[in-house]
Structure 1
Amino acid sequence: MAKNIISADKIFDGFKWLIEKALVIEDGIILDIIDKNGIENVQHFEGILTPGFINCHCHTELSHMKNVIPEATGLMGFVGKIMQLRQYSEEEIKSACASALEEMQKNGIVAVGDICNTTHSLDAKTNSNLEFQNFIELAGFLPEQASPRFENGEKIAAQFEKTGATSIVPHAPYSVSKDLFEKINAYSQDKIISIHNEETPDENLLYEKKEGVFLDLYKKMNANIDFFQPTGKTSLQSVLPYLNKPSQILLVHNSFTSESDIQFAENQAKNTHQQIYWTLCPNANWYIERTIPPVDVLRKNRVKITLGTDSIASNYSLNILSEIHRLQKHFPNIPQEEYLQWATSNGAAALGMQEQLGTFSIGKKPGINLISKDFQTIKKLY
């Protein structure tokens, strides 16, 4: 493929705006970044060029539930619907997974941190050009479930390793026992993991006082949790100390995270030489709970923020630009370039893909997106 020289009204390189620059590319690889003035044969685009977007949190395997679950059910209502809807064939589920990956690629996404409870997304990933960090997600709040659940997770993980980096991760504080946390932690030395964090206020209520809707959930599941004793602390402060071996932890959603929680997590990461990334999925938070994460508090504490779409079962599309649009409605004063950094270089670093993705740097093949001048639409160029 011949070399091309491309430029646009604005170019964002993953960290900052490039002024009066052009990209020299061949087969999507950045060969050089040059001054565009006086250069002939520059292909100019109207709009903004950015590196490919990183979707740090998705549930591809739930894609068959698109437009099935109503909005504003609350987390418990949403989880209940997921558990009830079991009537889909394996063929339908796998086909929906493939369609979801195609949609993400069309929307300028080049890499996905994908939650896997099953192997339903395996075939689609094998045939996809996207990059994957597979998070094999385990749940089991009863101590006796720890060993069989972990052993099953190891079997699933082994199948996904051919599609990308793979780790075993806890679902959420309210669904994972201390025993299972310990097994996951021991397995996760120097790995990247994720965990759903403080998506509903009842998660903290459970750990602080052993009260709230989760008690009803366990009762419906015939799960005796007499063994569980509240810690008097938030869920994050209760369980994060169980995860001191992974190199990086993606805390996902964070809808009801306080400043003290943020500082607790960042201080622990500093002491354990870990990296914490705060992954936001605002459209899903709005879809399920009609809430938005505390972006202003996160920014105040200068933490690393990334973006995800969650599943299409809890969203309107699989489009990182749409996630930015949702946040802009609530936080209009955040500069465009900050949002774009969350979607590019921060996301690539969170998934351990910064050597190839996330920035316009010589030698990389990061994907190239074109965002319209009004910041409303996105098109994948390379």
Structure 2
Amino acid sequence: MPEWIKLTARDIFDGRRFLGEDKVLVMRPDGAVEAIIDRSEAGEEVRRLDGWLSPGLINTHCHLELSHMKGRIPEKTGLPDFLTTVMTQRQPDSPEQIAEAIAAAETAMLEAGIVAVGDICNTVNTIPQKQKSNLYYHSFVECMGFVDASAPARFAQMQEVYQAFRQLDAAGVHTTTLSPHAPYSVSATLFRLLSDLREEDPITIHNQECFAENMLYESRAGAFLGFYKNFGMDISGFRATGQTSLPSYLPYFQSPGNMLLVHNTFTSEEDIRFAAGSAKNIFWCLCPNANIYIEDTLPYIALFREQGGVMTIGTDSLASNHQLSVWEEAKTLHEHHADVPLEEIMQWATLNGARALGIENTFGSFEKGKKPGVTVIDKDSKKVSI
């Protein structure tokens, strides 16, 4: 007879809904969920925790490798200026600073009850930390290059990074895919190279994070023209499509599989409807604290909910955020959108995130046989040691 782990709290959120008081989460010694039962049926040795219980939280968008940039970039400058600062100040004061910042950021995510992360990678800097298997990671190795002529070289360069991350996949707590960075940083040729991969594992893209991105595609105007000029980039080959960015790039991707669209701060109802007809399973990732940090605005969430959009939550990086807590993002969403039930936001932070990363068979909900981890939430979120 196994020694059951029995946990109770003020309430239990199972990944879809709050179950109310007087419930007990029963798990096996290895952390696998057995059942949720009434307190009257649970017998002795029930451990009561302050707050309420949730499956481990899923951070579907993070840049762990930028953790050393915490506090370096001024807030609310707009995306083109933010990107300029990242590109010019990305190098750390010392090589050791990167590894130390990555380790500290991962520890903070663990302590905040995060169990899985969709992590953006431009370098191999996070591999040593990921080898420790403290969290489940899906590493999105990011391709960028807005000049068509450089697309083959850029693609080959990131293939090398991709193969380095693929070495981690055999452990079963890590997966990898190549993904485009953003519409304003990926040329038509590079989009075609990436779409030819026909990835069935999740891919991602930064989507409509600023108004200038849509202006670029609609009329070849806006703040990105100055950004390209500042870095000496020849974009003479770029042609405006007369549409916003999303319908301009999404048709490149016609293979099945999940696609995370991240930020979506300037996504319209028409864009959402267009995405609904995509060959991809579209997930809309919100990073509200980063949106406030960079653009001082938030997506119009009502549009996504009205159109049945499937939402997830990310934190972005410590270059654009003060912390990497999914619960802090959930609180910000609830504070700014009091009409959205907390129960719904919590599903974005758990089960929807697990589905987006393709790990819902293990994470995201308290269902028999799963090992989703347990997070206790009160004012803060904390990992529960079991």
TM-score bucket of the superposed structures, by smaller chain: over 0.9
| Match runs of 1:33-44 below 5 Å | 33-41=36-44, 42-44=46-48
Which amino acid is the alignment partner of residue 69 of structure 1?
A: I
Contact 2:24 2:42 (C-alpha < 8 Å) held by counterparts: no
The residue number in structure 2 matching 1:96 is 101
The residue number in structure 1 matching 2:68 is 64
Unaligned stretches of 5+ in structure 2? none
Contact 1:192 1:246 (C-alpha < 8 Å) held by counterparts: no
* Equivalent of 1:225 in 222, 235, 257: 235
The residue number in structure 1 matching 2:24 is 22
User: Taking structure 2 as the reference length, what is the TM-score of the superposition?
Assistant: 0.94
Of 56-65 and 41-50, more deviation after overlay is shown by 41-50
Report the 3-state secondary structure (helix = DSSP H, G, I; strand = E; otherwise coil) of the residue aligned with 1:62: helix
| Match runs of 1:99-248 below 5 Å | 99-161=104-166, 162-163=168-169, 164-248=174-258
The residue number in structure 2 matching 1:85 is 89
Of 83-92 and 168-177, more deviation after overlay is shown by 83-92
Which amino acid is the alignment partner of residue 120 of structure 2?
A: I
Per-residue CA distance 1:103-137 (angstroms, 9 max, x = gap) = 11110000000000000111111114100111000
Contact 2:212 2:223 (C-alpha < 8 Å) held by counterparts: yes
Which amino acid is the alignment partner of residue 81 of structure 2?
A: G
Report the 3-state secondary structure (helix = DSSP H, G, I; strand = E; otherwise coil) of the residue aligned with 2:50: strand
Question: How far is the alpha carbon of 1:38 from its aligned partner?
Answer: 4.2
Question: How far is the alpha carbon of 1:308 from its aligned partner?
Answer: 0.1
The residue number in structure 2 matching 1:355 is 361
* Equivalent of 1:369 in 359, 363, 375: 375
Distance in 2, Cα, partners of 1:360 & 1:76: 42
Contact 1:348 1:357 (C-alpha < 8 Å) held by counterparts: yes
Distance in 1, Cα, partners of 2:358 & 2:238: 35
Question: How far is the alpha carbon of 1:244 from its aligned partner?
Answer: 1.6
* Equivalent of 1:318 in 319, 324, 330: 324
Equivalent residues, number: 375
Note closer, same or farther for the CA distance 1:72–1:142 as it changes in structure 2 (3 Å cut).
Answer: same
Distance in 1, Cα, partners of 2:32 & 2:19: 18
Distance in 2, Cα, partners of 1:97 & 1:185: 31
Distance in 1, Cα, partners of 2:112 & 2:76: 26
Which amino acid is the alignment partner of residue 192 of structure 2?
A: E
Runs of 4 or more above 3 Å deviation: none
Per-residue CA distance 1:305-340 (angstroms, 9 max, x = gap) = 000000011101110111011112210121111011
| Match runs of 1:252-271 below 5 Å | 252-268=262-278
Per-residue CA distance 1:167-224 (angstroms, 9 max, x = gap) = 0000000110111011111113312100000001010000000001111111122222
* Equivalent of 2:52 in 48, 52, 65: 48
Contact 1:101 1:128 (C-alpha < 8 Å) held by counterparts: no
Distance in 1, Cα, partners of 2:63 & 2:50: 34
Contact 1:280 1:307 (C-alpha < 8 Å) held by counterparts: yes
1:306 aligns with 2:308: no
Question: How far is the alpha carbon of 1:293 from its aligned partner?
Answer: 1.0
Report the 3-state secondary structure (helix = DSSP H, G, I; strand = E; otherwise coil) of the residue aligned with 2:49: strand
Contact 1:90 1:120 (C-alpha < 8 Å) held by counterparts: no
Note closer, same or farther for the CA distance 1:94–1:212 as it changes in structure 2 (3 Å cut).
Answer: same
1:275 aligns with 2:271: no
Question: How far is the alpha carbon of 1:18 from its aligned partner?
Answer: 2.3
Distance in 1, Cα, partners of 2:192 & 2:82: 28
Instruction: Let me know the Cα RMSD of the aligned residues.
Output: 1.3
1:3 aligns with 2:13: no
Which amino acid is the alignment partner of residue 315 of structure 2?
A: T
Report the 3-state secondary structure (helix = DSSP H, G, I; strand = E; otherwise coil) of the residue aligned with 1:216: helix
Question: How far is the alpha carbon of 1:234 from its aligned partner?
Answer: 0.3
User: Taking structure 1 as the reference length, what is the TM-score of the superposition?
Assistant: 0.95
